[in-house]
Structure 1
């Protein structure tokens, strides 16, 4: 849809999110699915197995993948092409980059990582729930923008996105620790998203004027 029909990526992503969630609900019969006893149960244990890991195996997996992604984006031709397409797709195409094929690779890789994130979530909850994490996509957008990413593309880093994700997690946990009701948390998160996007647009306009 994105490469052939030229659908706006953000809209295509939200649309497929709805499709995927609907399919998951249909397969699960709109009910939670108990997780069988497999290796995935131990990915996010509070006390890791084995204990010499110090933190849960899932945390180590995330760190390793983050390092690999950072190296690929900053030190390889593929990574430079990703930033080029995000910054100016027309210019990247004029330079000989097969932008449609590159975007297919990017979205396929993203889908693989999203699947892994789903396994992590199921490990944490000990069950599969097609209704869980509704609205989390907004937190992710805020985390990326807070971490220095741009909604216009062509900017950002893995480290910055991870720092943004930690800030969002600390913010949510802090609200819960203080005992603020859920609607207060939603107001704060929503305001933070608007501010983050506004700052991103301001940075983009400043860069365009420079």
Structure 2
């Protein structure tokens, strides 16, 4: 094909090639950045940074931020933001610790952590989409369930009774949620900023402002422990769960109607609404799914520490947002990929690990994280300006 094919459109091939070059740079940019940063630390500290144990450790350290960032990717694609993810990780880790402390099985604690994250995400989604009144009963039922569980635990009640009693508020209140009421949408930034403090306070309140020490991890800690086998089989289960989640969410975003609706809302919410997309329902599901991812990240965090610490995951919201933005997502919405997010999360881990090997203080790492976010957003703005 030559330009003569389009005589009325000069420079068509040049424009097409430029667009392809930009797409290639957008796709490969995060990977190139990761390779450069990794190479710098490998050159500065080859004996400690390049060891196989350290490479495996970096993959393990990526799991918590990586899982949470996968959920945040969907939120940012629809044009939202979530500043509460660090607090939610801490809360769900505390819930897992409390459940194990009360003698529940490890898989029950895992489901409790993920379920709590999903519920909190749904509450955030309800506030963002303007369904505060419609979902007020759900929030009330959740609060009553938590208080019932804690109270009966203090009274020495058995686990079956506590589960049944905790489900009772939901059975009584949730049916009234079908009543239609006026919607009152709120800004995602304000909602998640408020939840940032509320969830952190709830995490501290669960443990009386102190740690929760379970009697045993019931095998949950094995999620973050490498296998005795050699090669890739030695990687901890959490790494494989991260990759599995990435495949599932990536496939859902790119090969399902739901995924197309997510990108459509982020690109132009008004146009998506005119095309028949259920915007509020899709947003609610996205925030709920992101909350479930944060719940799984909280479970990983507990498995790593084997103790419920209400102050854990402080500052993780910045790391999560940085991972998503570095991976090529636009804070304006409509763009993003799980693959890019994983690369961004790994880049943040490499920076933290490399700075530790160099003996740099935490404040240096925090400055670098903030600077990376600003640079990534600036590149995104310049890229969008070039399209105009």
Which TM-score applies when normalising by structure 1?
Answer: 0.93
* Matching residue of 1:74: 254
1:52-201 to 2 correspondences below 5 Å: 53-201=233-381
Q: Is the 8 A contact 1:30 1:130 kept in 2?
A: yes
Indicate whether 1:28 and 2:207 are aligned: yes
If asked which structure has higher relative contact order (CA below 8 Å, sep 6+), I would say 2
Tell me the CA shift for residue 37 of structure 1. 2.3
List alignment gaps of at least 5 residues for structure 2.
Answer: 1-126, 131-183
Tell me the CA shift for residue 50 of structure 1. 7.3
Q: Is the 8 A contact 1:147 1:163 kept in 2?
A: yes
Q: Secondary structure at the match of 1:120?
A: helix
Instruction: Kindly report the root-mean-square deviation, in angstroms, between the aligned alpha carbons of the 2 structures.
Output: 1.6
More helix by share: 2
Q: Is the 8 A contact 1:49 1:56 kept in 2?
A: no
Tell me the CA shift for residue 119 of structure 1. 0.3
Q: Secondary structure at the match of 2:332?
A: coil
Q: Is the 8 A contact 2:217 2:306 kept in 1?
A: no
For residues 42-71 of structure 1, give each alpha carbon's deviation from its aligned partner in whole angstroms, at most 9, with x where no partner exists.
1111x3277783211111111101001111
Q: Is the 8 A contact 2:211 2:307 kept in 1?
A: yes
List alignment gaps of at least 5 residues for structure 1.
Answer: none
Q: Is the 8 A contact 2:128 2:187 kept in 1?
A: yes
Counterpart pick for 1:3 among 112, 116, 129: 129
What is the distance in 1 between the residues matched to 2:288 and 2:367? Answer: 34
What is the distance in 2 between the residues matched to 1:10 and 1:87? Answer: 18
Which TM-score applies when normalising by structure 2?
Answer: 0.51
Q: Secondary structure at the match of 1:85?
A: helix
For residues 166-208 of structure 1, give each alpha carbon's deviation from its aligned partner in whole angstroms, at most 9, with x where no partner exists.
001000111110001222222222211211122222223333x
Aligned length: 207
What is the distance in 2 between the residues matched to 1:171 and 1:182? Answer: 11
State the structure with more CA Rg.
2
What is the distance in 1 between the residues matched to 2:330 and 2:229? Answer: 39
